[in-house]
A and B are shown apart, each in its own frame.
Chain A
């Protein structure tokens, strides 16, 4: 791993203060993610996974320490700059898909480009390409309620990919899916990673973590292990 890290966390802590009580959700966590990696962040609920994801996704800032995206300290950027950076560099995939119910699939996929200043015509053309990449072009004009959970998650992945982000952040992407559909979605992520897409997947499911070359484990907000498996091939073939 000689490449410049895409994301680098240095002694990151995040403390929330509610009603005068300080709760530390993430404590002194450091790691780097290089371009092209696929990383699972694991831990039981309450271990600080979501807080970590919010910080990597530029939705939140650390109380202590620093998050660097491509070498730049994100805390030094204005709120607006972080938002613009989010539009271009981060692709979010959520457990509950988070598609806008009142927009059809292709409009949902095109949404991030609205905030990149792309014209409507180009937005829709690129959205169709992105839908094609996840095998959902035939459902482009369906509304989320007309799609199954797996289909909605594919649309959400197409949306995450549309701006060619540096990193796709997936928060329990299979958490709401049955195991077969979940496996399909995981295969999709694996395929994306083979094309060079950097992916960070947050999960509490050890089965998913085994699909990723690298696993970061959190417990009570602290990093307990960061392992990279040399050989992933046998496991992937076992799963498929």
Chain B
């Protein structure tokens, strides 16, 4: 008897008892569906984090405003812009490990080009920003010195904004767009960095202050919302961070013992830590899901043992008609395998459906990779082999003479 014939016989036998077959494989279905779902959600979260880490760039420190006391009242972090362009200059000039640094002011606004418009983040910054983030141009150029110092009416578009405002054949370079009624010339379009990062338009910091954010009350002429700085080498991160902290304390005249009014963060490191945590949680969930697979396997073994007992006479007949011990073993092993494979396939389909539902309802990114599906199916095949072997072996060891005598 061949494997194929074994599967044919198994399918025939399982079709005769569809409810029982389905209930038997339910444990496998649930186990595999949970494994696929957990993998999809876990790897989706990791992908999102990796994209964010990539988009920030390597060896980047981010300086944001910290807590501020105003008349004894502690205000929320970032409620006052405590960093200035002077701080950016000082960091660049006085800390040798810093290769590039840039301050930014950001807000959201409608950008308009001819008949199309799009709501996006407007980031006022300097060319240093692109150096820090290793962000290359797809076409055009960065800001010139004159544009940076003289509030030039120019804009560099992220790829999403370029796609939304311009038809596929159109070259955005040199085109006029409007932001808050201010006409700006597109001088550059950036490379893709990731969906969350590409939805942005950059203008010179001076332009942002003069033309868009000048009226905001918490902005003085020199303020920036945050500073990003690139450290030359991996090993210098901690040193550069300490130097920035002491430099800024000195510049902001913070007396010893008082809290900083700024925070220096290493976003990549923080995200990597987060990634590790996600991995741990995902592994834990997979371990729990595997227990369900184990329970499913035991239920298959149980039903198979009952089935062998019920079909003792059939086994006797098959042996009398020339079935070898290994044919009988193969037949019952195939039944267990078909149960597990079918359960695994239903589980994979269920897991994909479930993770897509989660993605839609919770707005999470999920990623279904072939590896997770392969792993889940491999698990179910292994379950079938392990828990199907004993009943199949038992069936093959039955004496045909005794088996023919049973009623």
Contacts and interface: CB of A to CB of B under 8 A. Distances in A.
Contacts of A178: none
B320 A159 contact: no
B251 interface: no
Nearest to A162: B321
Contacts, number: 65
A84 interface: yes
Nearest to B407: A96
Interface string A63-101: 000000000000000011001111110101010001010
B322 interface: yes
Contact of A159 (B12, B321, B401): B321
A85 to B, nearest CB: 8
A90 B400 CA distance: 15
Question: Most chain-A CB neighbours within 10 Å: which of B8, B316, B320, B321?
Answer: B321
Interface stretch (B89-97, B219-227, B323-331, B338-346): B323-331
Interface string B30-46: 00000000000000000
B325 A115 contact: no
A88 B323 CA distance: 11
Interface string B295-336: 000000000000000000110111111111111000000000
B16 interface: yes
Interface residues of B, number: 25
A54 interface: yes
A100 B316 CA distance: 11
Size category of the A interface is 20 to 34
Contacts of B5: 114, 120
Given A86-B322, A102-B16, A59 B400 contact: yes
A57 B319 CA distance: 11
Contacts of A90: 322
B215 interface: no
Nearest to B314: A100
A60 interface: yes
Nearest to B2: A117
Contacts of B287: none
B401 A114 contact: no
Nearest to B331: A114
B100 to A, nearest CB: 73
B313 A83 contact: no
Given A60-B401, A98-B404, A100-B314, A80 B322 contact: no
Interface in B1-17: 1-2, 5, 8-9, 12-13, 16
A100 B317 contact: yes
A221 interface: no
Given A83-B325, A98-B404, A111 B318 contact: yes
Given A98-B313, A114-B5, A117-B2, A83 B16 contact: no
A147 interface: no
9 contacts: A54-B401, A60-B401, A80-B324, A80-B326, A83-B324, A90-B322, A94-B404, A100-B317, A102-B16
Given A100-B314, A111-B321, A159-B321, 10 more contacts: A59-B320, A83-B327, A87-B323, A88-B322, A92-B320, A100-B317, A111-B318, A112-B322, A114-B9, A115-B324
